[in-house]
């Protein structure tokens, strides 16, 4: 067993990544911070162009360590890898070329919200909107944030997604080069969404709007499972573990809260 730990987001990251980066490239971690942004921030909250080179970014480091583990692993033995990228997430800061990949002016901003909506929501949410409650998931006054600010935040979020996508592609390519792809189950999912202007709010709450709770889940199964299909079945993150065990032919322990949805993916159900 091996752990390469990356906690936090952007300049708040800590753990093995930061320790290793500072040891090999002193001062490099500070280039993630807003004080060292490539361009002066526009005023959009927690949004800037990170000065750190992409090759020293934590997303790249996480993919690098994952690939190293795969290459060093005995192909005859089963393996489990939790490859967790902190992005996309606030702060909305990403390095070049990804911070310039999407033009904020070209971003379509059409949030799910209506005039007067906040009056119909609980007082707690109205207090969060005004920045009167610091939840960790929303700790700024939403009133000064303009549509232009949101477009920039979304553009940087798209850049983060592209960076993660490129690094996931590198991991998949490594599996393919080692002839492991058709014997490996890949699951892509997230822990929460981002309001990004929906209901006049931003970040992650804690609220129970579907923007936050309906997270993407994509499975890539070996061809023998014949599982190329989409489903709108109701599933939850508690179902991931029993589903993985079921697909791997491992008995599901008694008392597990979730259910396997293997048969949903294979079309048996």
Q: CA 99 to CA 110: how far, in whole Å?
A: 21
pLDDT digit string (tens) for 184-236?
A: 999 999 999 999 999 999 998 788 999 999 988 899 999 888 877 788 888 89
Q: What's the mean per-residue pLDDT of the chain?
A: 93
Q: 179, 185, 190: which is closest to 75 by C-alpha? A: 179
- How many helices (H) does the chain have, and how many strands (E)? 7, 6
pLDDT digit string (tens) for 127-161?
A: 989 988 877 667 788 889 999 999 999 999 999 99
Residue extents of the structural domains in the chain: 6-111+145-220, 229-269
- Cis-peptide into 91, omega within 30 deg: yes
Phi, psi (5° rounding) for residue 62? -65, -45
Which residues have a Cβ under 8 Å from the Cβ of 237 and sit 6 or more positions away? 189, 191, 215, 258
| CATH class of the region 6-111+145-220 | alpha beta
| pTM for this entry | 0.93
More confident residue, 17 or 207: 17
pLDDT digit string (tens) for 72-115?
A: 987 788 999 999 999 999 999 999 999 999 999 999 999 999 99
């Amino acid at each position: 067993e091996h752990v390469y730990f990356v906690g936090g987001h952007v300049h708040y990251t800590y753990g093995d990544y930061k320790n290793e980066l500072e040891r090999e490239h002193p001062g490099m971690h500070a280039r993630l911070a807003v004080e060292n942004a490539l361009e002066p921030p526009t005023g959009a909250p927690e949004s800037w162009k990170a000065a750190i080179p992409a090759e020293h970014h934590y997303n790249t480091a996480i993919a690098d360590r994952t690939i190293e583990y795969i290459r060093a692993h005995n192909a005859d033995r089963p393996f489990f890898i939790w490859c967790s990228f902190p992005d996309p997430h606030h702060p909305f800061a990403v390095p070049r070329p990804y911070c310039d990949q999407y033009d904020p002016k070209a971003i379509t901003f059409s949030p799910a919200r209506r005039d007067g909506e906040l009056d119909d929501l609980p007082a707690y949410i109205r207090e969060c909107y005004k920045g009167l409650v610091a939840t960790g998931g929303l700790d700024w006054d939403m009133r000064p944030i303009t549509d232009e600010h949101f477009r920039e935040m979304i553009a940087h979020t798209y850049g983060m997604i592209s960076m993660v996508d490129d690094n996931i592609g590198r991991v998949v390519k490594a599996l393919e080069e080692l002839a492991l792809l058709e014997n490996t189950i890949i699951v892509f999912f997230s822990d929460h969404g981002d309001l990004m202007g929906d209901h006049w709010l931003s970040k992650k709450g804690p609220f129970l709007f579907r923007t936050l709770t309906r997270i993407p889940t994509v499975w890539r199964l070996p061809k023998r499972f014949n599982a190329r299909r989409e489903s709108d079945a109701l599933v939850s993150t508690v179902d991931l573990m029993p589903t993985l065990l079921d697909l791997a032919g491992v008995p599901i322990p008694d008392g597990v809260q979730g259910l396997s949805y293997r048969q949903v993916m294979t079309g048996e159900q």
